[in-house]
Structure 1
Amino acid sequence: MSEIKLAKLFDLESQESDGSPSLMSQTLPREPQPTSGDNDDGDGGRIPVEEWLPITESRKGNLYTATFHLVCSGLGFQVLFLPAAFAAVGWLLGTIVLTVGFAWKLYTIWLLVNLHEAVQGIRFSRYLRLVIASFGVKLGKLLGIFPVMYLSGGACAMLVIIGGKTVNQLLHIMSGDDTEPLTTVQCFLIFSILAMVMSQFPNMNSLFGLSLVGSVMAVAYSTAVWTLPLANERNHQNNVSYTTKDTSFENIINAIGMIAIAFRGNNLVLEIQGTLPSDPNNPSSKTMWRAVVISHVIIAICMFLVATVVYWAYGDKIPTTGGQIGNYLSLYEQGYSKQAACFIHITFIFYCLCSYPIYLMPSCDNAEMLYTTKTQKPCSFLVRMMLRVLLGSVGFFIAVGFSFLTYLAVLIGAVGLLVTSTYPCFMWVSLKNPQRKSLMWLLNVSVGSLGVSLSVLLVVGSALHLADTGLHANFFKP
């Protein structure tokens, strides 16, 4: 695809009336809009409306802000599913899948980092825009809207469910009896209100403080989860077994899915890179890749230690359902002090609160994009606040109405997995246009096709697993 065609196709954020950036817009402007002439950040080629939107409003990020954004978005609560996955598939297969999955994630991030400025003067600061530019408007929207929006809004709803239930568990531990100081819905509401307040930061770059706290909290609870078993000398006096009890196809595929969904955050790589300044002499890809390497060293240490040490300590005693955090953190309540259990829960809650605004930001950005193109002016503080409260309220409503979504994480996450494992490969082929049957062409087509196959297998395996174990779908009864 030529640079001129790509420039025209990417110009979806034009302020012309016939070039609405709405996700559902079917029209493109005939000619590209002039770019902003304000290059004080060393960032050429900015589309004027981008200066009003939260993701690209500030281009003053640096290595440290990008690193903490990546850690906070990449080291999620799904890391706690890894010991359960190891309990289902055993040492060998678990280690292989975790290692291959991590290498796969790093490769697709490298692709995204280098696709961010695939055309000189144009920056793809939103994942969905890159999908549309790669596959065309109609196919791009068909393939991209649901998984990308699910990974934004859906992740926030999941954080409300997980975070709210963890608040409930914490209150139960602190009370010391069987009474519940607050109901689950009340805990959801408290978590949502706090998360909506923390989402009022104006743009992605201003979330650096939250990402810093969230990263520290994620490393803290991950470290506590794997160090406490090492401190307990009674682990191997409890006849721990590493024998895989259920070797059925659906159980193994479901466990592989739990490992796969732990590799999250690719949908935010372009948005995070969009906060960095860029110029021909110092492109953003250099700083971003350094941030990726540093952040993923931290993520790898936490993921591998949580998976292997917790499985070593508890073996087949870990529930293999991959359900709520309390499924195996309840082991700590039995074997450790109340203070240790409270520490894990508190750090986990703080992490969920800090990561919520980061995952909500793409939805906020799209909502503000719709507003700015309709009104031809930036959002005021009041409008921006109302939009974020509205989006947060929708997440709360989904969490209360569909609180069983965590048990569908593998099934729904298989669709979102395409964003991490598949789309970057085919987008590279589309935009970079490598020679057919060259090494890069063969590698990306093979890896992308394997990603599609894996996603289909996860959907089938998870559906069979749910059919076998059943699902208690209590609507509006969390």
Structure 2
Amino acid sequence: MAANNVNLESNGSGEKRGKLLVLFPIMYLSGGTCVALITLGGGTMKLFFEIACGTKPLTTVEWFLVFICCAILLAQLPNLNSVAGVSLIGAISGVSYCTLIWVVSVSIGRPMDVAYYPLKAKAEMPWICSIVNALGIVALAFRGHNVVLEIQGTMPTSTKHPSRVPMWRGVKFAYFLIAMCLFPLAAAGYWTYGTLIPANANGGLFNVLLDYHGQDTSRFLLGLISLLVVINCLSSFQIYAMPVFDNLEFIYISTKNRPCPWWLRSAFRAFFGCLAFFIAVALPILVSLAGLIGAIALPVTFAYPCFMWIVIKKPQKYSAMWYLNWGLGCLGIVMSFLLVAAAIWSLVYTGVKPHFFNPR
């Protein structure tokens, strides 16, 4: 349990306060990410079947249901250690489809009417808010911070070999891979399509590739990319749902004071999968709220570690490190408020068609 891995008992009611401050953003980010993965994975399943078979036998909601059934079956693996292989497959598929999308886009070439003029709004405030909102979307792209403590909690640790050392190496390598996937994708995508990319491209660059180069690209390549996206979404669902699974089990264990039986663990996971499916169908606009989701959970990455360091290490008051960590922590909180405000402003300014219970 990510929220329970940090012991702040030395600070009086620190443990309860820590749970309140950490549990909500972690559960919120895990749940929001899983709902977004259902929307993306189910929609891509539909695309894959259309590319492979040329027919549309199921509706979007039915494809969401197919995806969550597959995800719930995979979710029966008991803990993060057991999903290491699934995680590796997901990482390989993620790197593969990101690389394929930008390589195919660049190799085919730019559409005839591509342009690169700045997308500046008529008013200054919406333009600034759009930029700040984009930072929230970037923060969501590096969203692994909600499972970092969860993963570290499963690793063996001792005074000689603390778990934070391999964990820090793993985090650096993982974020390097994410950057190597997303930054070439963004640069190559903008070079190829420029301002032809819609402001709310929920399907990402793959949908833009289908719109402008769908006829010029082999069905095998398009099918392979869509299949890799589905595999990545199914694998990612297990990782981001694990904090929710563990906390549901922890509530049962702490209440009943006995181990959680396998059938109840399966029921908890099926319940969460069904709840995420319901939200994905009821609120299909959730993918458009990426900037807001990333902004609300930002303190977990930019603020909490600084405050935790002060509580755990107890540096001398008013020393350079004390000021540095307080300053960075407060800056992280301020950034989070600014990003939330900018995300809400952008949503109000651009407008979002809700189409509740009508995913497309």
Q: TM-score, normalised by structure 1?
A: 0.69
Q: What CA distance in whole angstroms lies between the structure 1 residues aligned with 2:203 and 2:144?
A: 20
Picking from 36, 39, 46, the partner of 1:161 is 39
User: What is the Cα deviation at residue 323 of structure 1?
Assistant: 2.1
Q: 2:208: which partner in 1?
A: 328
* Structure 1 segment 421-460 matched on structure 2, within 5 A: 421-460=302-341
Cross-structure match for 1:172: 50
Higher RCO, 1 or 2 (CA under 8 Å, sep at least 6)?
Answer: 2
After TM superposition, list the pairs within 5 Å mapping 1:275-424 onto structure 2: 275-325=154-204, 327-330=207-210, 331-424=212-305
State which of 229, 238, 242 in structure 1 corresponds to 2:116: 242
CA distance in 2, matches of 1:240, 1:476: 35
Q: 1:171 Cα shift?
A: 2.5
Query: 1:131 deviation in Å?
Result: 8.2
The answer as to whether partners of 1:188 and 1:396 remain within 8 angstroms in 2 is: yes
| Amino acid paired to 2:45 | V
1:269 paired residue number: 148
User: Cα deviation per residue 1:345-381 (whole Å; 9 max; x = unaligned)?
Assistant: 1101100001111111111111111222233221222
Judging by fraction of residues, say which structure has more helix.
2
What is the RMSD of the two structures over their aligned residues, measured on CA atoms?
2.2
Separation in 2, partners of 1:468, 1:367: 38
Does the 8 A contact of 1:257 with 1:410 survive in 2? yes
Q: Is 1:252 paired with 2:131?
A: yes
TM-superposed CA distance for 1:262, in Å, is 1.3
1: CA distance between counterparts of 2:129 and 2:91?
Answer: 34
Pair 1:288–1:412, CA change in 2 (3 A):
closer
Deviation at 1:206, TM superposition (A): 0.6
Distance 1:342 1:380, change over 3 A: same
Q: 1:411-463: per-residue Cα shift (whole Å, max 9, x none)?
A: 23211122122211222122222223433323322222222222222222121
Q: Deviations over 1:144-173 (max 9, x none)?
A: 232111122222122111111111222233
Change (3 A) 1:297 1:414: closer
Matched, 1:139 2:21: no
AA partner of residue 309 (structure 1): A
Q: Distance in 1 between matches of 2:92 and 2:57?
A: 29
Give the letter aligned to residue 401 of structure 1.
A
* Structure 2 counterpart of 1:214, one-letter code: G
Return the letter of the residue paired with 1:161: T
Deviations 1:235-274 (A, max 9, x none): 2x62533221224222222222222221210111111112
Deviation readout 1:65-112 (Å, 9 max, x if unpaired):
xxxxxxxxxxxxxxxxxxxxxxxxxxxxxxxxxxxxxxxxxxxxxxxx
Identify the range of structure 1 (333-342 vs 343-352) with the bigger mean alpha-carbon deviation: 333-342
Match of 1:193 among 69, 72, 89: 69
Counterpart contact for 1:128–1:144, Cα < 8 Å: no
Structure 2 residue runs without a partner (length 5+): 122-126
Preserved contact between residue 5 and residue 153 of structure 2 (Cα < 8 Å): no
TM-score normalised to the size of structure 2?
0.90
Match of 1:183 in 2: 59
Structure 1 residues 345-354 or 307-316, which shifts more? Answer: 307-316
Cα pair 1:258 1:322 within 8 Å, conserved:
no
> Superposed, which structure 2 residues align to 1:70-149 within 5 Å?
126-127=2-3, 129-130=5-6, 136-149=14-27
Q: Secondary structure at the match of 1:130?
A: coil
> Measured at CA, do residues 327 and 422 of structure 1 come closer, stay the same or move farther in structure 2, by a change above 3 Å?
farther
Distance 1:249 1:277, change over 3 A: same
Q: Report if the CA contact (8 A) 1:422-1:451 is conserved.
A: yes
| 1:477 counterpart SS class | coil
Q: Map 1:35-54 onto structure 2 (within 5 A).
A: none
Q: What does 1:19-38 align with in structure 2 at a 5 Å threshold? A: none
Percent identical pairs in the alignment equals 41
Q: 1:332, 1:341 within 8 Å by CA — same for their partners in 2?
A: no
